[in-house]
């Protein structure tokens, strides 16, 4: 049985917590008495502790509750609430499984699965969560023929970054020096949970990360994200001042430059962008021992400018 979520269906009894993932669809094996209004899968997500989702066995005798997300997340834990708003079951995840359960309802021996049913992306494992776009809570105790959920909350982090409108996709990236396994490519792999870890090549030398574009572009904006998917530095570029304007945290510790290693065409520049095929972050303040970049997005004008090595093309 499929139920599509609607904002108008939600009640404001339970407030969503920080880090909580909002599902887009809810299913169950079979709704009790086929009464969706009273016991449907959506009742576990309506933010109302009084209502309850109650699933019964399907035609194969299996009882389960299933949620789908809009994209891949790294799921850290699920929490199941009672009618009084008390958390009676917390199931925590690792990259391999979600088998650690705490609470008075753990005796019911429910199995939590986190899986990727609609995405084929291969992501680097993270110690405290499991990647997936779907979770399934199954009843494994054969003596129980129902699964009742007044409220359930899923916590985790966005795993994959969505491409921004107007984003320029880089063709290469390098840095001053990589620390441990934080290679430069991690800054542009669309995975929030990997990080490019940058240190100086030698003691006292500069810290930098440089991104190569496929040709000359008019770069308008550069966004730097943290591992939670928040763009905490937003750089704006123009022809006169380059990319000197930054809004967000630690802007004063960095310099962002756009330069052209290919030849610029002989055309009048656009005022609201900086032309180039290289984008470079350089750390100039704060802790000069190193810095990390989970993700960078570069937004600009596609194909307006090109080097002689590439075709003129409007993308």
User: What average pLDDT is seen over the chain?
Assistant: 88
Q: Which residues pair with 255 in a beta bridge?
A: 282
**Minimal CA–CA distance to 291: which of 201, 210, 195, 202?**
195
- Residues 234-293 have pLDDT tens digits of 999 999 999 999 999 999 999 999 998 866 655 556 789 999 999 999 999 988 999 999
The bridge status of strand 64-81 relative to strand 151-158 is antiparallel
pLDDT tens profile 172-192: 999 999 999 899 999 999 999
User: Max Cα separation, the chain?
Assistant: 78
CA distances from 169 to 72, 245, 299 (A): 20, 22, 9
pLDDT in tens, 123-166: 878 788 999 999 999 999 888 899 999 999 999 988 888 889 99
Closest CA to 279 of 231, 220, 192, 228: 220
Question: What pLDDT is attached to residue 7?
Answer: 41
**Mind spelling out the 3-state secondary structure of 8-60?**
HHCCCCCCCCCCEECCCEEEECCEHHHCHHHHCHHHHCCCCCCCCEEECCCCC
Q: Are 131 and 140 in contact (CB under 8 A)?
A: no
Q: Is the pLDDT of residue 102 over 80?
A: yes
**What does the alpha-carbon distance between residue 83 and residue 65 come to, in Å, rounded to a whole number?**
18
Q: Is the pLDDT of residue 51 over 80?
A: yes
**Would residue 103 be called left, alpha or beta, if left means φ above 0 and alpha means ψ between -120 and 50 degrees?**
left
Report the CATH number of the 167-301 domain: 2.60.120.260
Domain with CATH 2.60.120.260 in the chain: 2-158, 167-301
Is residue 10 scored above 80 in pLDDT?
no
**Cα distance between residue 1 and residue 26, in whole Å:** 8
Q: Of the candidates 27, 25, 52, 58, which has an alpha carbon nearest to the alpha carbon of residue 38?
A: 52
In the chain, the percentage of residues whose pLDDT exceeds 90 is 70
pTM: 0.71
Mean pLDDT of 60-68: 96
Contact 201, 210 (CB under 8 A): no
CATH class, 2-158 region:
mainly beta
Q: What is the pLDDT of residue 73?
A: 93
């Amino acid at each position: 049985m499929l139920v599509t979520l609607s904002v108008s269906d939600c009640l404001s009894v339970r407030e969503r917590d920080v880090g909580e993932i909002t599902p887009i669809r809810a299913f169950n094996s079979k709704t009790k008495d086929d009464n969706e209004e009273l016991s449907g899968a959506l009742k576990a997500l309506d933010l109302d502790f009084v209502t309850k989702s109650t699933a019964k066995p399907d035609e194969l005798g299996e009882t389960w509750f299933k949620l789908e997300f809009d994209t891949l997340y790294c799921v850290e834990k699920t929490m199941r609430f009672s009618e009084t708003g008390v958390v009676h079951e917390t199931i925590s995840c690792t990259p391999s499984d979600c088998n650690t359960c705490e609470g008075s309802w753990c005796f019911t021996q429910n199995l939590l699965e986190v899986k990727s049913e609609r995405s084929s992306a291969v992501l680097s494992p993270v110690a405290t969560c499991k990647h997936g776009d779907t979770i399934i809570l199954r009843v494994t105790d054969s003596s129980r023929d129902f699964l009742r959920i007044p409220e359930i909350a899923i916590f985790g982090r966005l795993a994959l970054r969505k491409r921004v409108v107007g984003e320029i996709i880089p063709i290469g990236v390098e840095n001053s020096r990589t620390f441990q396994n934080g290679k430069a490519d991690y800054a542009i792999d669309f995975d929030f949970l990997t990080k490019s870890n940058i240190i100086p090549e030698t003691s006292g030398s500069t810290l930098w990360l440089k991104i190569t574009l496929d040709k000359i572009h008019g770069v308008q904006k550069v966004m730097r994200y943290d591992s939670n998917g928040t763009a905490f530095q937003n750089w704006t570029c123009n022809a006169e001042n380059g990319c000197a304007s930054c809004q967000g945290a630690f802007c004063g510790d960095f310099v962002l430059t756009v330069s052209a290693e290919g030849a610029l065409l002989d055309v009048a520049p656009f005022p609201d962008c900086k032309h180039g095929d290289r984008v470079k972050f350089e750390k100039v303040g704060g802790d000069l021992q190193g810095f990390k970049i989970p993700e960078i997005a570069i937004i600009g004008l596609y194909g307006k400018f090109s080097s002689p090595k590439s075709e003129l093309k409007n993308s």
